[in-house]
Structures are given as C-alpha cells and as structure tokens.
C-alpha cells in the first residue's frame, strides 16, 4: 500500500480486476477487507469494507477472489443478514449449499413474459387504485417521517407473495430492530429475509446490501416463487455510490452525483421483474427533500420504473394513513391486469378526487353552491366514503378481492346517487341567495 486519501486506499503493483476482494494486513495480525473500485495510472484504488485504523504505508495487500459469490438457500427465511450475507440476528449460522453471484445480468428482454397477473399487497388503496402485477417495479416517493417504513411493513405482512426480501440500505441503526419487530412482526419475518447495512457502515457495504437483496430475490425467483423485493432506499444507495465514485476520481456532474450513480440505478432495478420461472415484484423507496419529485435521483428512478406511489406529508399531517396521494401516483400496468369494471371504477374515483381538489378552496370557504356542478356535488357527497376506502389501519389486512369489491360497490353508489328533494330545495335556495360580497337587488 502506498497512499491513503479520504476513504480510499491506493496500492502499487496490484493489477487485479475491478470488483475483486482483497485483504490488507494490519498490525497484530489483523486484516481489513477491501474492494477494488478503480485504477489511476499504475496504482489500484481500493475501498475498505471496515475501519481504516491501523493501516500503514507499506502494508501488504493480497487478492482473495475476483468473483464475488453469495451463499443462499431456504434456510435464510426468517433471518437477518448483513451486506455480505452473514447472519447478524444472534442465531446459529445456517448451512447454505447454493451459491449465486452478487451482480447478475437482468433477464433478456425478449425472454421476459408479459405481466398479466395481479399481486395483492394487502393495502387496499394500492390494490384498488394502483393495482400491482406480479413482476412489476414501483417506486415509493416520500419525505422522511411520512410512513413509508410502516407501509413496507404492511406489505411484507399481508402480501400474497411466497417470499419477501427486504433490503435496509443506509438505515439508522436504531430503526433496524424497530422495523423488524414493530413493522415486520413475527408473522412477516417468517417468510422474509432482511438484509441490513446501516448508515454507519462503509459506503461499499451500503451499495452491496442492495445487490445482496437483489441476488437473494433472484435465487428464489429461479426456484419458481413469487418474490416481493422491498429496498429502502434507492436514495441512500445513490448517496453511497456517489461517495465511492468521488473516491475513485469521478467528476461530480448533476448536483454532485458522478456518472456512475446514473449508470448503476438501471442495472439494479432491471434485475427485478418476471422471468420464465418466477417473478420479482419490487418496491423501491426514494427519499425526496422538500417534496421535490424532480430532484436527480427521483426523476431518474421515476423514468426507470413501472409506476410510482407518492406519500403526502399533508395527508400524513391530517392522520390519513397510508398517506398515499392517489392523484400523483400511477401504476402503468394497472389497465392491462385488471378487468374493465375495476378500471372504470378506479377512474371514477380519481375523477372525483381531482374535482374535489380543484374546488377545495371554494368548498372550504363555503362559497361553492350545491347544484353548480354535478360532478363536484358527487365529490362532496362521497368525500368521506372515498376517504374511508383509502384509509387503512396498520393491523388491518385487506385482500385484493376485498379491495376490488369495496371499490366496485363505492363506484356503484356514486353512479346511482341522486340529490333528494330536500337537497334540491336547498340547492334552489342557494342559487337564489346572493353570492358572497354582493348586494341583493331591490325590486
């Protein structure tokens, strides 16, 4: 080793491929593992997987392996592992006989079957108005503290998928057990594998945690299972790769992100999807600062995925959970996987939500007159019913069939509703009453 700058280490006379795993000798026989992230002139740049303390100039660097393998198997179900696949839950180490690559090529585009089956997430608002298909990839866009972790926990507990793989990338250490015990629970953990890399760990491990979660999901997909992959979050994945890219000498481009960030994001999300054997349905969370959906990572991810779910701080502040902003959210595959009646009902609810939002100011101020717009009248009349459909208690399970049935019933009530005579009389009196700020005419 000849140089150490920031978080990276430079070794001379070490011509090994990028991505190789090496070990650096430290005093008292201790060794620090490192990954090769690039080259500069005749030097090799490494990123340590642990603390740099004790590493000195002239330390010996040895190659461990050039191909990264991950041990996998059914025994991983119910376990919590780190970014390298090692158990960290205090239970005995499982005997895993199978091996997969950390980084694999996504399924060939011409070999991907079309997505034509619904996957129930157990969340009524998603199953009803943002229906997800087996093999679809969606983003959950949210500011901090709006309830995305609780929403992920609900999906993990109530989904119809065979296996759930959760990747906690750059999560606060305190919140790991909170998510496992509170949000995931015993029921959700039984058929889950949780991959953890906290914010205190090196950036290389935070990036690797997303690869590890994807590789485990691919293993179970190739066993013919329907897998639900939940990665929280792509923003922290991008921040970790920014740290690595800058350490390797990449120039910062868009808002300080080097080009490698925008090259790795599609490579990661394209690994999910449907193959000839099974499916990986993926939800990737994206942290948005100040509810800015046009910042670089959010804008890039939105164009890569098959839909997006936006969580609203405004709804969360009103105690509306899950705080899904239906009008800003979209499932691109929903029209292809639901029946026409379901799709029409969803469009009707969206229409009324849009009408209410467009006229919310005049409704709140009491300026709107009943009878002025039949659609707005319906939006006002069924506002509470729609809210009741969209709200769901954390401990309440909702199947896809229940969500569809409730949605169709609500849409039928809306279509069959007619103002009664008392309401019609009120509407006529409202129309005869002068508008706010005007003086009645004298006869």
Residues 220 and 75 in one domain: yes
Residues 61 and 102 in one domain: no
Residues 140 and 248 in one domain: yes
In angstroms, the CA 98 to CA 36 distance is 25
Mean pLDDT estimate for the chain? 87
Specify if 430 maps to a domain.
no
In angstroms, the CA 151 to CA 165 distance is 15
Q: 47: domain range?
A: 2-65
Residues 111 and 55 in one domain: no
> What pLDDT is recorded for position 169?
94
In angstroms, the CA 233 to CA 152 distance is 11
In angstroms, the CA 288 to CA 358 distance is 25
How many residues are present in the chain?
443
Q: For the segment 307-361, what is each residue's pLDDT rounded down to a tens digit?
A: 999 999 999 988 899 999 999 999 999 999 999 999 999 999 999 999 999 998 8
Contact (Cβ atoms closer than 8 angstroms) between residue 407 and residue 129: yes
Residues 235 and 333 in one domain: yes
Specify if 428 maps to a domain.
no
Specify if 206 maps to a domain.
yes
Q: For the segment 176-233, what is each residue's pLDDT rounded down to a tens digit?
A: 888 888 888 888 888 999 999 998 898 899 999 999 999 999 999 999 999 999 999 8
Residues 278 and 304 in one domain: yes
CA 432 to chain centre: 52
The three-state secondary structure class of 45 is strand
Contact (Cβ atoms closer than 8 angstroms) between residue 181 and residue 149: no
Domains in the chain: how many in total?
Answer: 3
Specify if 429 maps to a domain.
no
Residues 175 and 306 in one domain: yes
The three-state secondary structure class of 10 is strand
What is the helix (H) or strand (E) element at residue 236, kind and residue range?
helix 234-247
- Rounded percentage of the chain residues whose pLDDT exceeds 90: 50
**Do strands 307-310 and 163-171 pair parallel, antiparallel, or not at all (unpaired)?**
unpaired
In angstroms, the CA 70 to CA 72 distance is 6
Residues 279 and 390 in one domain: no
Largest CA distance in the chain: 104
pTM recorded for the entire structure: 0.87
Peptide bond into 423 cis (omega under 30): no
Structure-token match 């409730």, residue found: 406
Specify if 146 maps to a domain.
yes
């Amino acid at each position: 080793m000849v140089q150490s700058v920031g978080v990276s280490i430079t070794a001379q006379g070490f011509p090994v491929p990028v991505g190789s795993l090496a070990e650096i000798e430290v005093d008292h026989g201790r060794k620090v593992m490192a990954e090769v992230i690039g080259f500069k002139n005749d030097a090799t740049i490494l990123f340590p997987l642990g603390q740099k303390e004790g590493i000195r100039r002239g330390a010996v660097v040895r190659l461990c392996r050039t191909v990264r393998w991950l041990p996998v198997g059914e025994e991983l179900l119910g376990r919590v592992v780190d970014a390298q696949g090692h158990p960290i839950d205090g239970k005995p180490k499982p005997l895993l006989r199978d091996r997969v690559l950390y980084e694999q090529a996504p399924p060939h585009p011409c070999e991907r079957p079309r997505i034509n089956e619904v996957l129930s997430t157990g969340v009524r608002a998603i199953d009803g108005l943002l229906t997800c298909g087996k093999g679809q990839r969606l983003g959950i866009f949210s500011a901090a503290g709006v309830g995305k972790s609780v929403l992920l926990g609900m999906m993990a507990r109530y989904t119809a998928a065979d296996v759930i793989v959760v990747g906690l990338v750059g999560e606060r250490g305190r919140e790991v057990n909170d998510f496992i015990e509170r949000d995931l629970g015993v029921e959700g953990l039984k058929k889950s594998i949780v991959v953890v890399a906290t914010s205190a760990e090196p950036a290389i491990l935070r990036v690797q945690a997303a690869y590890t979660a994807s590789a485990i999901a691919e293993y179970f997909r190739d066993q013919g299972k329907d897998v639900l992959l939940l990665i929280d979050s792509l923003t922290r994945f991008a921040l970790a790769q920014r740290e690595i890219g800058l350490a390797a000498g990449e120039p910062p481009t868009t808002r300080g992100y080097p080009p490698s960030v925008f090259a790795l994001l599609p490579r990661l999300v394209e690994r999910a999807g449907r193959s000839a054997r099974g499916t990986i349905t993926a939800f990737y969370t994206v942290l948005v600062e100040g509810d800015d959906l046009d910042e670089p990572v959010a804008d890039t991810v939105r164009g890569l995925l098959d839909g997006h779910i936006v969580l609203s701080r405004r709804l969360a502040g009103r105690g509306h959970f899950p705080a899904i902003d239906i009008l800003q959210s979209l499932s691109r595959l929903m029209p292809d996987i639901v029946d026409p009646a379901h799709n029409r009902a969803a469009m009707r609810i969206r229409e009324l939500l849009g009408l209410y939002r467009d006229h919310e100011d005049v409704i709140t101020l009491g300026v709107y007159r009943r009878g002025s717009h039949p659609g707005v009248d319906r939006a006002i009349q069924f506002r509470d019913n729609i809210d009741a459909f969209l709200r769901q208690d954390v401990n309440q399970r909702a199947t896809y069939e229940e969500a569809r049935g409730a949605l169709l019933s609500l849409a039928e009530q809306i279509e069959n509703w007619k103002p009664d005579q008392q309401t019609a009389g009120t509407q006529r009196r409202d129309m005869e009453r002068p508008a706010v700020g005007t003086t009645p005419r004298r006869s």
